[in-house]
């Protein structure tokens, strides 16, 4: 088992299979300063499988595929088919654009845990945030998942003055549909123009819901959950808040991240990362590198100062959000 110095067991690996995306969301891609990696620096399908198999041998039981946008990877289905052989829980985070193309095959392979990034329910605002006029297509693909009997999670990055006026709309969306809306506090990364004043915190979200008159039921969260889940009494679906900024959940963290170029990060906010791909290509044993990386994990926020600290921006990772994989 992969255990850090604080005795946290790490059995969940998020893999970015590409650093490229067909959207250009403002908080993720600083489009004026974004350079995608050449293919030779990225993991091949076989290399990704070899590295992932090593993690599974070390106790990892859940894999989530992310990007960039994972569904634009030319060998996406081959990756899923290979990982399916490892007998672990497979999950996916996507912008949903190509879900209609892949959903039947994903269901056959047992990949039914799907998170979709959707930051607004307004078509014009969607275009402004993502640079893509595709709201109706994403909405149809979410309905397609529901028609297939799946219960997708909808990831909503809230930014004050941008989409915080849609909190009630998103919660009301759960009234008749078995979806799970997850509000994510806006997180700081290099060049994403982060300012704490843009953050819509957990308490503010709950206050808005209560002022609307919603009767909120606090649901039981999994021990390793990143979110705090709620349900409006009488609603079919649920909503949650991922309170990374205002109320971190580091004490029970069980997650590791592998970037598309084969770098291991023990925290989303990690200042350092471990190259696994180069040693693998050189025929070296990567197990000690993985174990050492996990042992170096900080207790809270990857060693960053408090998010209220004015020096925070001086400590941010040089990796952009799209390069990390979320």
Domains and CATH numbers, the chain: 2-324 (3.20.20.70)
Q: What is the DSSP string of 119-148?
A: --S-HHHHHHHHS---HHHHHHHHHHHHHT
Determine the pLDDT at residue 324. Answer: 75
**What is the DSSP secondary-structure string of 16-46?**
E--S--S---TTT--GGG--PPPGGGSPPHH
CB proximity list for 25: less than 8 A, separation 6 or greater:
117, 119, 129, 130, 131, 157
- Cis peptide before 14, with omega less than 30 degrees from 0? no
Rounded-to-integer distance, Cα 257 and Cα 25, Å: 21
Q: Name the residue with tokens 């999670």.
A: 153
Q: Has residue 80 got a pLDDT over 80? A: yes
Q: List pLDDT tens digits, range 187-220.
A: 876 655 677 888 999 999 999 999 999 999 999 9
**pLDDT (0 to 100) of residue 26:** 76
* C-beta separation of 158 from 184 below 8 A: yes
User: Which pTM was predicted?
Assistant: 0.93
Distance CA 301, CA 292 (A): 18
Which residue matches tokens 């909405």?
139
Query: Which of the residue ranges 22-31, 87-96, 183-192, 315-324 would you say has the lowest mean pLDDT?
Result: 315-324
Q: Average pLDDT for residues 114-119, to the nearest whole number?
A: 97
pLDDT of residue 317: 57
Residue 55 has a pLDDT of 98
pLDDT of res. 46: 98
Strand locations in 214-313 (E):
216-218, 228-232, 238-242, 255-258, 263-265, 274-275
């Amino acid at each position: 088992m992969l255990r850090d110095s604080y005795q946290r067991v790490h059995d969940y690996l998020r893999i970015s299979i590409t650093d490229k995306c067909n959207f250009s969301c403002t908080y993720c891609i600083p489009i004026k300063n974004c350079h995608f990696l050449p293919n030779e620096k990225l993991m091949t399908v076989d290399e990704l499988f070899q590295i992932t198999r090593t993690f599974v041998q070390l106790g990892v039981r859940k894999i989530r595929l992310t990007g960039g946008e994972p569904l634009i990877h030319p060998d996406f289905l081959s990756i899923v088919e290979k990982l399916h052989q490892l007998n672990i829980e497979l999950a996916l985070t996507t912008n949903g654009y190509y879900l209609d193309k892949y959903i039947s095959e994903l269901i056959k392979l047992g990949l039914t845990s799907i998170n979709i990034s959707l930051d607004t329910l307004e078509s014009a605002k969607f275009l402004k945030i993502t640079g893509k006029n595709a709201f109706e297509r994403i909405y149809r693909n979410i309905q397609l998942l529901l028609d297939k009997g799946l219960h997708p999670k909808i990831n909503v990055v809230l930014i004050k003055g941008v989409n915080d006026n849609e909190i009630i709309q998103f919660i009301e969306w759960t009234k008749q549909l078995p979806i799970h809306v997850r509000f994510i506090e806006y997180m700081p990364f290099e060049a994403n123009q982060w300012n704490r004043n843009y953050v819509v915190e957990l308490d503010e979200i709950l206050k808005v819901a209560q002022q609307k008159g919603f009767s909120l039921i606090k649901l039981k969260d999994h021990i390793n959950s990143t979110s705090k889940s709620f349900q409006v009494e009488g609603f079919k679906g649920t909503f949650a808040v991922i309170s990374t900024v205002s109320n971190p959940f580091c004490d029970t963290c069980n997650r590791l991240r592998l970037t598309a170029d084969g770098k291991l990060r023990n925290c989303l906010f990690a200042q350092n990362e471990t190259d696994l791909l180069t040693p693998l290509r050189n025929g070296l044993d990567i197990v000690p590198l993985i174990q050492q990386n996990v042992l170096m994990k900080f207790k809270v926020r990857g060693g960053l100062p408090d998010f209220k600290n004015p020096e925070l921006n001086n400590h941010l990772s040089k990796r952009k959000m799209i390069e990390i994989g979320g």
